[in-house]
A = this chain, B = another copy of it.
């Protein structure tokens, strides 16, 4: 297998990955980030902390890839043998690096340790023939070797440290090596199925000739992911602008965000623009909507707060839902969800409220109201409306889908108000 132009191989080292105790999210991160700068990952290998396997894999990777990123095995315990093995493989030796030692010592001081554990002095030993990738967010230093036409990077397996080194060293280095640009852009839609979306847009190969478009369905809509190759960033942006114009003309009403922005981020920023406040009343979602909204930094400016009214008692006591309503129509009904939405709006004095009540499962379903039956209500100071959904997943899936659908309805309401 010959070397493809600037292809990459990722090697993850660690017993805990092979035995499934840790899910390997590092490889997904690296795959995504390398793709953004136009580098394709051809192979990914996970191996145990075994000298034999490490040497075998590096040897193989160097033969078939121009970029090799090795994660893991750099900690201070006896399991971690990556550094030692690399030193052996590249026939070099370990030397103490002054700057690295200062950094490691400073880190321990910062966290209030009087004395640094002996094993951590090793964290300042670096392979002599490598460039050092200093670690500002941990104690393990990274290494950058060059062997023939291949660049080899060894970074820690801790995701935050790996990411930091990628962002601050590897990416910058690789960018200088890549010719041309590869632009990834995403347009995120919601409230529309994949086939309807494409019916409205038309045939991809005609409409977006020369651009690669992937359509990625998710819980509450479809992401359109554009991959654009061009000589310059400017040229790539122009090509994308043309594609974006087409999408917005044909299905603009369903596009809620660009790139990685989440529905809750869009909702929070719309509320900020309008200078309006939101309150939530959740039964089956049990606080998940409130949790998603408060994951957005700055949400405190527009989020009054919410109630997780899991019991009928809570619905009555906190929101003033009528006992009669619960008795006649049930907790999962249009009438109840509307009273919940109105109740929390009054309690909070907010401008918008969203309320959810449903049967998350696995128990509690009936023939008339099967597991997954969910009512979502939205209230403003002048109106209240509710919609019924039946989600057919497990407990956590139903909670997630109900929360995302509630956010989508809220987004649609916020946008439609803008248009009036």
Q: Contact at B18–A41, with CB atoms within 8 Å?
A: yes
Q: Is the CB of B305 within 8 A of A306?
A: no
Q: Is A28 an interface residue (CB 8 A)?
A: yes
CB interface residues, A 341-394, toward B, < 8 Å: 347-349, 360-364
Assess whether A114 is interfacial by the CB under 8 Å rule.
no
Q: Chain A 248-281, CB within 8 Å of chain B: the 1/0 string?
A: 0000000000000000000000000000000010
> In A19-78, which residues have CB < 8 Å from any B CB?
19-25, 27-33, 35, 40-48, 52-53, 56
Q: Could you say which of B19, B35, B294, B308 contacts A294, with CB atoms under 8 Å apart?
A: B308
Task: Choose from B33, B56, B286, B289 the contact partner of A1 (Cβ within 8 Å).
Answer: B56
User: Min CB distance, A116 to chain B, in Å?
Assistant: 14
Please determine whether A399 and B294 come into contact, CB atoms closer than 8 angstroms.
yes
Q: How many angstroms between the C-alpha atoms of A83 and B362 in the bound complex?
A: 35
A85-93, A99-107, A171-179, A311-319: which lies at the interface: A311-319
Contact with B along A229-246 (1 / 0, CB 8 A): 000000000000000000
Q: Do the beta carbons of A27 and B46 come within 8 Å of each other?
A: yes
Residues A180-210 near B (CB distance < 8 A)? none
A362 touches B297 (CB 8 A): yes
Pick the contact of A52 from B1, B19, B22 — CB < 8 Å? B1
Interface status of A395 (Cβ within 8 A of chain B): yes
Least CB separation from A280: chain B residue: B308
Chain B residues, Cβ within 8 Å of A284? 294
- Taking a contact as CB atoms under 8 Å apart, the answer to whether B286 and A290 are in contact is yes
Shortest distance from the beta carbon of A35 to any chain B beta carbon, whole Å: 5
Cβ-defined contact, A24 with B21, below 8 A: no
The answer for the CA separation of A301 and B296 in the assembled complex, in Å, is 31
A55, B307: Cα distance in complex, Å:
55
A220 on the B face (CB < 8 A) = no
Which B residues are in CB contact (< 8 Å) with A17? Answer: 28, 31, 44
B28 touching A44, Cβ below 8 Å: no
Contact across chains for B295 and A395 when beta carbons are under 8 A apart: yes
Bound form: Cα–Cα A304–B315 in Å: 10
**B294 and A306: CB pair below 8 A?**
no
Q: Which of B287, B297, B310, B313 contacts A363 (CB 8 A)?
A: B297
Contacts of A19 in B (CB 8 A): 31-32, 35, 40-41
When distances are taken between beta carbons in the complex, the residues of chain B under 8 Å from A303 are 286, 310-311
The minimal Cβ–Cβ distance linking A63 to chain B, given in whole angstroms, is 12
A310 B304 Cβ-Cβ under 8 A: yes
Quote the shortest CB–CB distance from A369 to chain B (angstroms). Answer: 15
Distance between Cα atoms of A362 and B35 in the complex (Å) = 29
**Is B18 a contact of A24 with CB atoms below 8 Å?**
no
Is A222 located at the chain interface by the 8 A CB criterion? no
Given contacts A24-B27, A295-B286, A347-B317, A306 and B304 within 8 Å (CB-CB): no
Whether, in the assembled complex, A95 has its beta carbon less than 8 Å from a beta carbon of chain B, the answer is: no
Cβ contact within 8 Å between A46 and B47: no
Contact B56 A44 (CB under 8 A): no
Q: Complex: how many Å from CA A20 to CA B166?
A: 15
- Judge whether A325 is part of the interface by a CB distance below 8 angstroms: no
A298 lies within 8 A of chain B by Cβ: yes
Q: Would you call B306 and A287 a contact (CB within 8 A)?
A: yes
User: Are the C-beta atoms of A307 and B299 separated by less than 8 Å?
Assistant: no
A415 at the binding interface (Cβ < 8 Å): no
Q: Is A168 an interface residue (CB 8 A)?
A: no
Enumerate 25 A-B pairs (CB-CB under 8 Å) in ascending A order: A1-B53, A16-B216, A18-B42, A19-B32, A20-B29, A20-B30, A21-B225, A24-B28, A27-B46, A42-B48, A43-B46, A44-B47, A280-B308, A286-B291, A287-B306, A288-B294, A291-B291, A295-B395, A297-B363, A304-B310, A304-B311, A304-B314, A305-B307, A307-B307, A317-B349
Closest 6 CB pairs of A and B: A286-B294, A20-B31, A287-B287, A287-B290, A20-B32, A305-B314
A-B contacts besides A20-B27, A43-B47, A298-B363, 5 pairs, CB < 8 Å = A18-B40, A21-B214, A24-B24, A287-B289, A304-B310
